[in-house]
Amino acid sequence: MASILNIFIRKFFKHPHPPIAAALGMFLSYYAYQYIFSWIILLFIIGNISLLRVLRLMQNNAENVSAMIKKLGITCLSVAVGFCLGIAARGMMSSSVEFGLLPDRIVSVSGVLVEDPRTLHGGSGLGVLELYECGSSDGSRATAAGRLTVFFPNDSIEDLMHFGRGAGLYLEGRLSSARSNSETDGYVFNSSSVHILSAPSPIERFRTGLRSGIIKSFQNRQGNYPPVWAALSSALLLGVRDDLDVTLSAGFRNSGASHILALSGMHLAIISGLLAFLLKKPFGLKISSLIGAAFILIYVFIAGSQPSLVRAALMYLLGVFAIWTSLKINIFSLLSAAFILQLLFQSNSGESISFILSYLAFFGMISLGNNIHKLLRGRIPAIFSGSISVSLGAFIMTAPIVVYHFGSLRPIGIISCIFLAPLSSLFMLFSIFSLIVVSLPLPLWELISVVLEGIYRLMEFFISFLGFVPGINITNVLPVLIFTITFFILISFMTVWDEERRNKLESFN
C-alpha cells in the first residue's frame, strides 16, 4: 500500500497541472463558500503535510528536493488563485429577484425574454424573463431586477415563438410561489395576457428565423404530416423538445438515457468530427480546427447556451488554442480550464443541475472510466470494454447528485448507453445529411427519411424494452456518496497495482 501511495505522489508532482489545481481551489470556494475560513485552514494544513511528505520521500535524493518543492509551490499557488476566482465568481452571481413592491400585490411584469420560449404539452408555454419593471393592483409601478420564470397562455405561443429570444414583453397575471418557504427567486409568474413591446435585435431575429428554418427542413416537402423522426432530430440537433413524443421522452428517462437529449459533448463531438473529416485533408489540422471553432461558436449561438453545451464548446476552443500555440495539454487540464472560464463568465450556471452533472459525468468518464477500461483490457472484448467503462464511470460519479435531486437511480442506464449512444450519433449524422439534401433536385431526402425512421424505430424499441427495468429509490444520499468515493479510490489503487503487476510479467519469446 505504501509503495502504491508513493507512486501516486511521485506521478502527481512530476507532472503538475496548474489548471487542475486552480479548478480544485475554485470548486472549494464556489460550492462551499459558507465554510470558507475552514477551507483556508484545511488547505494550509494540507500544504504543510504535503511539503513534509515530499521532503521525506526525497531524503535519499537531495538534488531533486529543490525541484519538488518548486512544483509543490506552483501547485499551492494555483489552488490559492483558483480559491480567489471561486470567491469572485460567487460574488458575480445575479442576486435574487427584486420586485420593489410587495409580491402579493404584483399583477404585471415587464422584461426581456432571455431564453427561447418553450411549448408545453397542453398548449401553454414557459420562458425566463429578465425583469425591469413590475406593477401592483393599485396602479403603482416600480423598477424590478433579476430573472423570473413565467408561464404563457395558449393563445400567445405562436407570436412568442415567432419573435423568440430577446423580445420585450409586458405580462398581466399573478405572481405565485414556486415552493413553500421560498425566497424571492422562488416565484413564478402565471400570465393571463401577453403584450409584445419590442422586437428582438436583428441578430436575434436572424437566429430565430434560422432555427425555425432548420426545424421546418425536417418536415416533409409535400406538406404532409411531419415524419415521425422530425421531433427527435430537432431535439438532438437544437435542443428543441417541444414536439417530442411524450412516450419517447419518458422512455429516455426510464431507461436512464435522458442525458442523450441534453445538448452536450456527445453532440458537439459528432459535429466537430464530421467537420474534421471533411476539412482536415484539404486544409490541414490548424486551418480545419480554426474553421471548426468558428462553426462551433455559430452552433452554440443557434442552439442556445445550455451549460453542458457551453462546457463542450469551451473544451473544443481550448483544444484549438493548444493546437495553434503548440501547447502540451491533457484532457484533465482542458476540463479544468473550461470549468474556470465557465464559472467566471456564467457564474449563475454553476448552481444548475445540468452544469454539475455535465462536469461530473465527463470527469467520471476520463478518470474512473479510463481506469476501469485499463482493468478490463484483455479480460473482455475491446468492443464492449470501452462503452461499459465510459458508462460506468459517468454513472458512478454522478450518482450522489442524481440521488440528491431526484431520489432514485437507474442502473440500467449503464447498459442503455451502450446501445443508444451509437444509435443517436448515427441518427444525428443522417439528420445533418437531411438538411444538406433537402434543397437538392435529387430524391435523396426520401431515402434518408426512410433510414432515419428505421433508426428511430430501433431506438424506440431499445428505449421501451430497457425502460421496463425498475429504478432504485434512495432517500439518503450519504451511503451513495460514500460508495462513490470508496469505489473511485479502490479502482484507482487497483489500476496502479494491475499496471505494476503487468510490467513485472515476462514477455513471451
Asked whether the predicted pLDDT for residue 43 surpasses 90, the reply is: no
What's this model's pTM, rounded to 2 decimal places? 0.84
Residues above pLDDT 70, as percent of the chain: 84
User: For the residues 45-65, what does the mean pLDDT come to?
Assistant: 57
Is the pLDDT reported for residue 59 higher than 50? Answer: yes
Residue ranges, CATH 2.40.50.140, the chain: 103-200
Distance CA 415, CA 400 (A): 19
Predicted local distance difference test score (pLDDT) of residue 375: 85
Q: What is the mean pLDDT of residues 303-318?
A: 88
Residue 112: predicted pLDDT: 93
Contacts by 293-301 with C-beta closer than 8 Å and gap 24+? 293/317, 293/320, 295/271, 296/268, 296/271, 296/272, 299/268, 299/271, 301/207
Residue 223 has pLDDT above 60, yes or no: no
Weakest mean pLDDT among 37-41, 105-109, 450-454, 500-504: 37-41
Find all residues with CB under 8 Å of 217, minimum gap 6, and list them. Answer: 434, 435, 438
What was the pLDDT predicted at 68? 64
- Local confidence band at 63 (pLDDT 50, 70, 90 cut-offs): low
Instruction: Return the exposure string of 319-347: e unless at least 16 CB atoms fall within 10 Å of the residue's CB, then b.
Output: bbebbeeeeebeeebbbbbbbbbbbeebb
First to last CA, the chain: 32
Confidence tier at 52 by pLDDT (50, 70, 90):
low
The class level of CATH for 103-200 reads: mainly beta
In this predicted model, what pLDDT tens digit does every residue of 325-380 receive, in sequence order? Answer: 877 778 888 899 999 999 988 888 888 888 999 999 999 998 888 888 888 877 77
Between residues 496 and 9, the one the model is more confident about = 496
Q: Would you say how long the chain is, in residues?
A: 509
Q: Which residue has the higher pLDDT, 48 or 494?
A: 494
**pLDDT tens profile 179-194:** 543 334 578 899 989 9
Q: What's the pLDDT at 278?
A: 77
Give me 365's grid cell: 468518464
Q: How far is CA 196 from the centre of its chain?
A: 32
